[in-house]
Structure 1
């Protein structure tokens, strides 16, 4: 079975804003091929291949897979880095996020890359994967937003097609791709030409992956996509996440610095990492997985204002104050290095404008509308705003400017952890 993305159809879809122009070539009818391949019965334990298991979200998947009685074996493909083995990188990430991985003989760590032929594995190991795996979870890929679409195309779009082909070789496998609600910002042609941070090459890649996955699913390829939001730390990490690496926390920091947030009738997309993991795995290990899911537990700006001590103002007023406070200042230029320091000042001022574009309420409304589509049941248990505040207090840059915690609120993290433990036990 051979699957390939038809030449430049993804770029044409982005140029015209028409995802229907995405085109895929198959060497055989994927629906017929999938029915003919051997597969395990629905009640049998499954073997899972996890890509990106050493990332923040991937660590949650790894933890829950090792703890799930529906899973027989977990193959974790980790790219080698320097002298550190794949197992060492996983252990380091577990320590970084204070995660205790279950003791289990299920785990098989493989060093390789899904970007390479045969995943960078020797022939015997690759053949084992092709013949033994039942479920593939793709949580790998870049998390930065600074590259053009061409780079993300090579790192994510084309590999998604290759993984789909892998899933229709030797044994029937379902493919579960972690997408992003950020791709929902595109609703009109002009959105594809906006200069803001939210309309960058990364978002375009996620847009293509979403629509490509849906198209292949309609054609009979067992691929499923999850439009995930910002994944924050949950009780399992003691509410620790990548912090200021997220644009979300950069936005919150600017709000706290200004003492304001903006009036908005919609919501902000987020989810705790453990809640996201359970939602994805419950769908992936079900007999009939949904083609697309929106595992989101949103928070409102009203909740942000109340819990972080912020004033609610119209968005226009909020943005004007923010841009004025973060404008380019000549006095900030270091005259010993005038060119580089001036460039940094321009970039800082430009980033703030890009992070809070004039159309921000509109694009958040587009995301909010999509999130309200039928979603995987989350069974979250912990209020999303409590998760957000607990994480914010773990980020030093933000926490130092937050209001003093009330006595009653000090017990919230402990109460949340008790609730989560009871939920896991149940």
Structure 2
């Protein structure tokens, strides 16, 4: 079974702003291939292949899968890095976020990469995956926005097709890809020609993966997409996440420094990592997984204003004041290192403009409306999203000096090892 992009149709789709220009080719009819492959019964525990288990989202997926009674075995595919084994890399990530995994004996760590032929495994190990796995969850991928689409095409778009092929060999498997609700910034052709932090090769790749997945699913390929937002720390990590590595927290930092936030019905797309993992796993293990889910638990600007003691103003007033505060001025030059300081000052000013472009309110509105997708089942969370946001903020040192003394009462941290979950109906919430 071979699946391929026809005639560089992804590049044509990007240049025209039309997902309808995406075209896939198949060596066989995917529905016919799927119909003749063996599959496990609805009531039988499933074997799951998890990619990216050593990532921030991946470790939440791993924890959720190991604690779920519907899962028999979890194969975690992790690249070896130097003298660090796959198990070492997972353990390091767990220590970093003070999170524990259920000791269920279900975990099998394999050292390899989905970017390599046969996933970088020996023939026996690869054959075992082909014949035993029922569900593939792809939580791997780039964590930086710095590269052009061409690079992400080779690292994510084309490998997604190879994973889809893998799912139609030896045994029927469903593929579940973690996308990004940030790709929803592309709604019109002119959006593909904007230039800011949100309109990059990374976002273009996520847009292509979303529409490629939906097209393949309509053609009978068992592939599903999750438009995830910023995954913040939840109770299992003591409300700790990657912190200032996120553009989200950089934006919150600028709001706190200004003491301002814009008044809008448009929400901020966030979700706790454990809530995201639970929504993905529930859908992936269901008998009829939804083709697309938006696991977002949004927070409003009014909630943020109230909890952080910020003044609500119009978007125009907020951006005007932000640009005034971050305009590069001669007084900022360090005359002992004039060239370096000028370069640094201009870069900082450019970064702030990129984080809050003129079109920012429009792109947030695009994400807000996409995440309100009526086909997505909502999930009530405890604690509420705004409490998750504020509890995370209080654990980020750089934000501490700007926070009000009692931004939020501490939320009790639940036990980090969940009880095995019973079989349940699929649940998902709206997701950047």
Match of 1:413 in 2: 411
Mapping 1:105-144, distance limit 5 Å: 105-144=105-144
Contact 1:178–1:226 (Cα < 8 Å) also in 2 = yes
Q: Distance in 2 between matches of 1:121 and 1:419?
A: 32
Contact 2:3–2:25 (Cα < 8 Å) also in 1 = yes
> How far has the Cα of 1:327 moved from its partner?
1.4
Match of 1:281 in 2: 281
Q: Distance in 1 between matches of 2:418 and 2:115?
A: 38
Change (3 A) 1:292 1:331: same
Match of 1:238 in 2: 238
Q: Distance in 2 between matches of 1:14 and 1:90?
A: 36
Contact 2:67–2:418 (Cα < 8 Å) also in 1 = no
Match of 2:191 in 1: 191
Matched, 1:386 2:387: yes
Q: Distance in 1 between matches of 2:269 and 2:79?
A: 30
Which 5+ residue runs of structure 1 have no aligned equivalent? Answer: none
Q: Distance in 1 between matches of 2:315 and 2:21?
A: 36
> How far has the Cα of 1:265 moved from its partner?
1.6
CA-atom RMSD, angstroms?
1.9
Which 5+ residue runs of structure 2 have no aligned equivalent? Answer: 425-432
Q: Distance in 2 between matches of 1:202 and 1:210?
A: 12
Q: Distance in 1 between matches of 2:381 and 2:421?
A: 11
Mapping 1:51-90, distance limit 5 Å: 51-90=51-90
Contact 1:381–1:419 (Cα < 8 Å) also in 2 = no
> How far has the Cα of 1:379 moved from its partner?
3.8
Q: Distance in 2 between matches of 1:377 and 1:419?
A: 24
Match of 2:365 in 1: 365
Match of 1:339 in 2: 339
> How far has the Cα of 1:340 moved from its partner?
3.5
Q: Which has the higher helix share?
A: 1
Contact 2:57–2:273 (Cα < 8 Å) also in 1 = yes
Match of 1:207 in 2: 207
- Which one is further off, 116-125 or 47-56? 116-125
Mapping 1:241-320, distance limit 5 Å: 241-320=241-320
Change (3 A) 1:122 1:339: farther
Task: Tell me the alpha carbon deviations over residues 149-170 of structure 1, each in whole angstroms, 9 at most, x when there is no partner.
Answer: 1111111111101100000011
3-state SS of 1:125 partner: helix
Contact 1:283–1:376 (Cα < 8 Å) also in 2 = no
Matched, 1:354 2:361: no
TM-score normalised over the length of structure 1: 0.96
Q: Which has the higher contact order (CA 8 A, sep 6+)?
A: 2
TM-score normalised over the length of structure 2: 0.94
Contact 2:157–2:209 (Cα < 8 Å) also in 1 = yes
Q: Distance in 2 between matches of 1:16 and 1:333?
A: 43
3-state SS of 1:215 partner: helix
Q: Distance in 2 between matches of 1:289 and 1:267?
A: 27
Q: Distance in 2 between matches of 1:92 and 1:382?
A: 27
